Structure 1
Amino acid sequence: MKIALIAHDKKKQDLVDFSIAYRGIFEKHELFATGTTGLKIMEATGLTITRFKSGPLGGDQEIGSLIAKNEMDAVFFFRDPLTAQSHEPDITALVRLCDVYNIPLATNMGTAEILIHGLERGDFTWRKIVHDQS
């Protein structure tokens, strides 16, 4: 599965800690991330991650493009709901694309826990069917 990892500044350490805890699951998949988030996760875990630009510089849009082309299977986007983001329209577009293309999206630790365990159990086999049809 292709998985995107994104985190706002105040949530980056949470996603790094999550990635450390679930490294064994993540290492079985193809990982993508926005700039600094990807770097921090790679440094902490040794995972191989394809990095895009920082979110405000277009990284969210790059991941959104993969979603629109049905080339992303899940998104872990640890958002900071209490801090205004300069690129809020890009964030809204990314979330909307996940909804349009039925891409599982975790925006907080609670949902991420459920999503990662589903990934481990093989609950995402339906994504393989989607890929086979396209």
Structure 2
Amino acid sequence: MASPKKKTLALIAHDGKKADMIGFVKDNIEFLKTFNLVATSTTGKMVMQTGLKVKRYLSGPLGGDAQITALVATGKCHAVIFMRDPLGMHPHEPDISSLLRICEVHDVPLATNLSSAQLIVKGLHKNLLKE
């Protein structure tokens, strides 16, 4: 069950980027413990193997990206780390585009690679210290 005081962070990774996501999670595990984590199915399963609790949604191609988009649109997700494979073909590209668009519309931080993910972690950490 999600803690009402914790902010929610979504974790998504295309197949070719799952290793990057797990490396990111391991490098930031103590910080990530301060969030309610949500993820698409396979990414969530892999993240759970690090010992973190994760609420898993459907896999991306089956609607998981759309489910996380709905969380962002309704203010229930405060940041998204989406390790995308920009060179791969994805049958659910419309859902991916929708997630990117909704994050922009609702001014929700969105990382799409390791560098931007690290910047989001630093920014979120700084904001949490202010609260």
**What is the TM-score of this pair, normalised by structure 2?**
0.92
Unaligned runs of 5+ in 1: 129-134
Aligned twin of 2:23: 17
What percent identity do the matched residue pairs reach? Answer: 44
Whether 1:101 and 2:112 are equivalent positions in the alignment is no
Whether 1:37 and 2:43 are equivalent positions in the alignment is yes
Output one character per residue of 1:42-98: Cα deviation in whole Å (capped at 9) or x when no partner.
11x100000000000000000011111111100000000111101000000000000
Whether 1:53 and 2:58 are equivalent positions in the alignment is yes
Q: CA RMSD in A?
A: 1.5
Give the distance between the partners of 2:21 and 2:105, measured in 1 at CA. Answer: 25
- After superposition, the Cα gap between the structure-2 partners of 1:124 and 1:8, relative to the gap in structure 1 and judged at 3 Å, is farther
Aligned twin of 2:12: 6
Output one character per residue of 1:88-126: Cα deviation in whole Å (capped at 9) or x when no partner.
00000000000000000000001011111111222697x
**What is the TM-score of this pair, normalised by structure 1?**
0.90
- How many residues were matched structurally? 125
Deviating beyond 3 angstroms after TM superposition, the runs of 4 or more aligned structure 1 residues are none
- After superposition, the Cα gap between the structure-2 partners of 1:72 and 1:60, relative to the gap in structure 1 and judged at 3 Å, is same
Aligned twin of 1:86: 91
Unaligned runs of 5+ in 2: 1-6
Give the distance between the partners of 2:128 and 2:112, measured in 1 at CA. Answer: 19
Give the distance between the partners of 2:35 and 2:88, measured in 1 at CA. Answer: 31
The letter of the residue matching 2:71 is L
